[in-house]
Amino acid sequence: MSNLSGIKIISSLEKVYSNDNVPSDSLEYISLLKNERKSFQVVIESKEEAFANSIIETDLVNYKIYRVVDVKSDLPMTKTGADDYFKFSDNGYYPDLLIPVTNEIELLKGKNIFWIEIDAENNCIGQHSFKFCIEELYAEISIEIIDAELDFSDFVYTNWFHTDCLMSYYGFDAFSEEYWRVTENFLKTASEHGMNCVLTPIFTPPLDTAVGSERPTVQLVGIECNNGEYSFNFDRLTQWIDMAHRCNIEYFELSHFYTQWGAKNAPKIMATVNGEYKQIFGWDTKSTSKEYKTFLSALSIKLNEYFESKNLKDKVFIHVSDEPNFSVISTYAKASKYIHKIFRGYKIIDALSDYWFYKLKIISNPIPANNHIDKFLGKVDNLWTYYCSSQKNKNVSNRFFCNSSLRNRVIGYQMYKFNIKGFLHWGYNFYYTQLSKETINPFEVTDAGKSFPSGDSFVVYPGENGTPLESIRLKVFYDAIQDMAALKTLEKLTDKSTCLNIIENNGEFNLTFSEYPHNDDWLLATREKINELIKTKNR
């Protein structure tokens, strides 16, 4: 007699919690373009713990199967300042981690969730079937691959990459053979999920660092100072860029030239001075220091020559300081003015949400948070957006454990409507507590030591042998990027008005960054309408 009591296919937007009922509706059909990946889930209910062999019946050649694993959260949501659009905010376990599985699968008593990802590449255009069989039960879905391609052009996505966190977790040294191997593993996974820009640590990034303390040195630029004259070695920077290009990374954002939250100090910078390797700038260096300005001026000349020789100048982004607010506008303005002066011709970007920084021409390319973006819309060319732990109100998109997957994914439609050209997030793999005071085990601590809502500080987990393990949130955000790319494809076949009419159900509502239907069916049905019109227009 079978231990199984049910099997069902559901959408990738469903988050099935341990105390939930299985969703009543089955997913029967999905479509995808020929350079797209799309996912769904299989729910298997078992009366007892058991091992069973699964059989996949399909002519599709590219697919992956993962088990969805619940992960602990001690801080799913902060107690103040949040809206009411989240699943629940109690301490407990949330579905997030994706563990690759083989045909033999372990079944736990109760609900077992498996994530299936279909890759259209190397598969034939047209109709396909995918049947998941286990013992005498099976679930089946129809899959259509459409003869058109997603348009990923003209969009930059960066999710800050922290190599020192990999060093701290795995225990290898900076720039060792293991450093480069593991870093490339993690960067390749980032690229496979839409990231085409990488935070590049020419210095150790001055991010999430307690005043007076430091993070492990990951400085790529070699510096020597002999008798007051600076010279620079870019061999490790070249190694980094070559690695990034192997991972299909196109853009490079240089680590910030000043400390976070106002540009008051210099970052930690190491150099060999008259034969001695030591720190030459840091918390004791004021941003207005003549010595630091002299150093930056010398560096900027050589960096410019380097990037021009590599034909990368238009692929490089420069940062001043992360998340300054109005209280430090004077300090930030001085630092920004100097960076704009010595890095003329570069795109200078910073995450900040006070419109005065742009209105007063202190920053040329502001990146406002999605709950502050309205003041910037229509006024800033090539506008980007970001979110972090603070974006928990006004129903804006975010990727916390307790957020619905729809709230994660809807940003694709939003960024398309408002012509957003880039997205930034600070935590691809931040495995420290707040202010980088301690290393964490991200399988056990998901909230940076009860500092940020779980899901804010990383989207990949550190797996065995230096291999990243993916999350539901990583996959769903990539779906958002694919949604935006599909709309760009359709716009080329029709026009933007047609695309917006589909998104907004012919004027039924006005999509904004805080207003959209809180309904999975709307988002999924909208995407199928987009695909159907692409197929029709592309014949």
pLDDT tens track for 202-252: 999 999 999 999 999 999 999 999 998 999 999 999 999 999 999 999 999
Nearest to 216 by CA among 180, 286, 169: 169
pLDDT in tens, 395-415: 999 999 999 999 999 999 999
Cβ atoms of residues 167 and 173 within 8 Å:
yes
Q: Which residues pair with 46 in a beta bridge?
A: 4, 110
CATH tag, 4-150: 2.60.40
Mean pLDDT over all residues of the chain? 96
pLDDT in the model for residue 90:
86
Candidate from 94-98, 101-105, 228-232, 463-467 with smallest mean pLDDT: 101-105
Alpha-carbon separation of residue 432 from 179, 184, 210, 329 (angstroms):
18, 20, 12, 29
Sequence letter at residue 374: D
Model confidence at 201: pLDDT above 50:
yes
User: Average pLDDT, stretch 315-322?
Assistant: 98
Token pair belonging to 347: 């795109």
Model confidence at 524: pLDDT above 80:
yes
Nearest to 400 by CA among 387, 413, 410, 412: 387
Model confidence at 357: pLDDT above 90:
yes
What is the rounded CA–CA span in Å between residue 428 and residue 192?
13
Provide the pLDDT confidence category of residue 363 given band limits of 50, 70 and 90: very high
Sequence letter at residue 448: A
In angstroms, how far apart are the furthest CA atoms of the chain? 84
pLDDT in tens, 29-51: 999 999 999 999 999 999 999 99
Model confidence at 184: pLDDT above 60:
yes
Token pair belonging to 303: 């960096």
Report phi then psi at 227, rounded to 5.
Answer: 55, 40
Alpha-carbon separation of residue 484 from 39, 49, 414, 488 (angstroms):
17, 41, 8, 6
What is the rounded CA–CA span in Å between residue 59 and residue 234?
49
User: Average pLDDT, stretch 114-125?
Assistant: 97
User: Average pLDDT, stretch 46-61?
Assistant: 94
User: Average pLDDT, stretch 491-506?
Assistant: 97
pLDDT in the model for residue 305:
98
pLDDT in the model for residue 84:
93
Percent of residues, the chain, with pLDDT higher than 70: 100
Provide the pLDDT confidence category of residue 88 given band limits of 50, 70 and 90: confident
What is the rounded CA–CA span in Å between residue 125 and residue 145?
5
Provide the pLDDT confidence category of residue 1 given band limits of 50, 70 and 90: very low
pLDDT in the model for residue 151:
98
pLDDT in the model for residue 516:
98
User: Average pLDDT, stretch 5-22?
Assistant: 92
User: Average pLDDT, stretch 268-285?
Assistant: 97
pLDDT in the model for residue 337:
97
Residue 345: Cβ within 10 Å count: 9
What is the rounded CA–CA span in Å between residue 130 and residue 145?
13
DSSP state at residue 434: G
pLDDT in the model for residue 19:
82
pLDDT in the model for residue 80:
85
Token pair belonging to 229: 């004259």
